[in-house]
């Protein structure tokens, strides 16, 4: 869609407002709403000035002027606002030079795509994320000097098998780790997921399926693959629609990776492929019908996995999911079809569908930074011919301890991930896709979260240590 098409759409659909949206370093969607009569060709070409000093991890107040540049191809009519509103995703540029702002996540994704083309390795990178989420009916938490704790509830959760409800307890609930794929009435999320998917399709998203996931009250909708920046935009829309449809049902959706103790957490498996000259670069005659380039790409992912964790698993909560015993891909190994390693090659009959799946990311990730970092690690593997070693076709969850000792793991904490990023980030700087200033700012932002987490007593510590 061109700028002229956007202006025509505003007129034809009698749009009252235009919502200009951007993503902050943590991955949260932000917005500013303007009257539609303020949006003309100059607005779309020259952008919108705003104060970036209040965005965590961005500019200080003495250099706070920034410019939002709308991407006309990203527009859609918001389905949740009372007034008819057109939403558009934006990248951030410096107002004096017009250059991309180096800490803008969306700009980083765009630079990663440009770097791929300039490298000669490929023309386009396609990403297909599978982001899981939980639905709750009641969420309460407290972080006070004298009270730290949380309480969540969902009528359909496994812990409510003996709860007294006003209309009676009908008893149809999947058990812990038993939510993968029962039909209704055990699956009570059919209608809400259908409405989420219908809403996504209505605003132009490419979607294909939905289902209950393994954990109690856990769900997933299917996004069809797209190019890197566009798919990051789509994932932001995905979260936005899920949050707001859930709200309309009186429910609360969360992409927090591990909100429930003792059950599976939410992952975001990321399927990736590179194409060159309209041909799939990853299809070949090597292991699992992969090309040598695809194996090197896997080698880069495995080599830099601990650094990638800072972007793919960017919360302290992420590492409560990345533990053995809950189908979590903690081992830095790869395999065809086997889901127990952190990289999998999904089975497919078509060379066009040949892809690599990173299984360790989670939906707390900023999608622009997550996808860009994964691509840069894979390209580093191709450029430097990083051998991923032999595949691991055994069930890694069942290996004896002596065999497990020989397989490296991903990080065990956000602290470890940030330390890895500080030590190993040169591959991210290639082509100025990421910059040192951006990485330093990101580290500073994330260290605040680590300190907040590490300095707060946990309720379990009272159970273990109060009477010591």
Whether 99 has a binding-site annotation, put simply, is no
Flag whether 13 is marked binding. no
- DSSP percent split of the chain into helix, strand, coil, nearest 5: 35, 25, 40
Is residue 317 annotated as involved in ligand binding?
no
Contact 357, 272 (CB under 8 A): yes
449: annotated binding-site residue?
no
Is 195 annotated among the ligand-binding residues? no
Classify each residue of 12-51 as buried b or exposed e, where b means 16 or more C-beta atoms within 10 Å of its C-beta: eeebbbbbbbbbbbbbeeebebeebeebeeebbeebbebe
Query: CA 373: distance to chain centroid?
Result: 12
Q: Is 415 annotated as belonging to a binding site?
A: no
173 is in an annotated binding site: no
Contact 154, 136 (CB under 8 A): yes
3-state secondary structure of 177: coil
Is the CB of residue 78 less than 8 Å from the CB of residue 86? yes
Would you name the residues annotated as active-site residues?
51, 130, 132, 213, 220, 269, 339, 357, 359
Whole-angstrom distance, CA of residue 230 vs CA of residue 322: 28
Short-list 221, 252, 199, CA closest to 132: 221
352 belongs to an annotated ligand binding site = yes
For residue 105, the 8-state DSSP code is H
Task: Pull the structure tokens for residue 242.
Answer: 């899920």
Tell me if 193 is assigned to a ligand binding site.
no
Residues in the chain: 468
Residue 70 pairs in a beta bridge with: 90
Q: Are strands 331-336 and 279-280 parallel, antiparallel or unpaired?
A: unpaired
3-state SS class at 331: strand
SS3 227: strand
The reply, when asked if residue 83 is annotated as ligand binding, is no
425 annotated ligand binder:
no
Taking the C-alpha atoms of residue 382 and residue 115, their distance in angstroms, rounded to an integer, is 14
Instruction: Mention every residue, 6+ apart, whose C-beta is less than 8 A from residue 463.
Output: none
Name the 3-class secondary structure at 57. coil
406 annotated among ligand-binding-site residues: no
Is there a contact between 223 and 205 (Cβ–Cβ < 8 Å)? yes
Cis, bond preceding 185 (omega within 30 deg of 0): yes
- Residues flagged as binding site for ATP: 208, 339, 352
- Residues flagged as binding site for L-glutamate: 264-265, 321, 327, 339, 359
- Residues flagged as binding site: 130, 132, 208, 213, 220, 264-265, 269, 321, 327, 339, 352, 357, 359
- Residues flagged as binding site for Mg(2+): 130, 132, 213, 220, 269, 357
């Amino acid at each position: 869609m061109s700028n002229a098409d956007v202006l025509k759409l505003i007129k034809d659909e009698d749009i009252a407002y235009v919502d200009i949206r951007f993503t902050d370093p943590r991955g949260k969607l932000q917005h500013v709403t303007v009257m539609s009569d303020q949006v003309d060709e100059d607005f779309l070409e020259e952008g919108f000035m705003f104060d970036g000093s209040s965005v965590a991890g961005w500019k200080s107040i003495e250099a706070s002027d920034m410019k939002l540049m709308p991407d006309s191809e990203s527009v859609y009519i918001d389905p949740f606002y009372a007034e008819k509103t057109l939403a558009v995703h934006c990248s951030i540029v410096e107002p004096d030079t017009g250059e991309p702002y180096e800490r803008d996540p969306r700009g980083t994704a765009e630079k990663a795509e440009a770097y791929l083309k300039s490298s000669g390795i490929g023309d386009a990178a396609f990403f297909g994320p599978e982001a899981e989420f939980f639905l709750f009916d009641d969420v309460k938490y407290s972080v006070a000097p004298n009270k730290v704790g949380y309480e969540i509830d969902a009528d359909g959760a496994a812990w409510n098998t003996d709860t007294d409800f006003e209309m009676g307890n009908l008893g149809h609930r999947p058990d812990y780790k038993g939510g993968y794929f029962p039909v209704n009435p055990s699956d009570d999320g059919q209608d809400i997921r259908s409405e989420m998917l219908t809403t996504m399709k209505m605003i132009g998203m490419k979607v294909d399926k939905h289902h209950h996931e393994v954990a109690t009250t856990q769900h997933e909708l299917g996004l069809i693959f797209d190019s890197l920046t566009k798919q990051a935009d789509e994932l932001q829309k995905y979260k936005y629609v899920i949050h707001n449809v859930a709200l309309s049902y009186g429910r609360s959706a969360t992409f927090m990776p591990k909100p429930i103790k003792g059950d599976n957490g939410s992952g975001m498996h990321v399927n990736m492929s590179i194409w060159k000259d309209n041909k799939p670069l990853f299809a070949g005659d090597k292991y699992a019908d992969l090309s040598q380039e695809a194996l090197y790409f896997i080698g880069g992912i495995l080599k830099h996995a601990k650094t990638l964790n800072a972007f793919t698993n960017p919360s302290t909560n992420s590492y409560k999911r990345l533990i053995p015993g809950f189908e979590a891909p903690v081992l830095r190994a790869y395999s065809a079809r086997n889901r127990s390693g952190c990289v999998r090659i999904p089975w497919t009959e078509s060379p066009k569908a040949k892809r690599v799946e990173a299984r360790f990311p989670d939906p707390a990730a900023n999608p622009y930074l997550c996808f860009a970092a994964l691509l840069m690690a894979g390209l580093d593997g191709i450029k430097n011919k990083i051998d991923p070693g032999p595949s691991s076709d055994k069930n890694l969850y069942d290996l004896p301890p002596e065999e497990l000792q020989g397989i490296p793991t991903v990080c065990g904490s956000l602290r470890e991930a940030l330390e890895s990023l500080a030590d190993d980030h040169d591959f991210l700087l290639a082509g100025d896709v990421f910059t040192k200033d951006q990485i330093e700012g990101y580290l500073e932002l994330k260290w605040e979260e680590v300190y907040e987490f590490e300095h707060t007593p946990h309720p379990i510590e009272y159970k273990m240590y109060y009477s010591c």
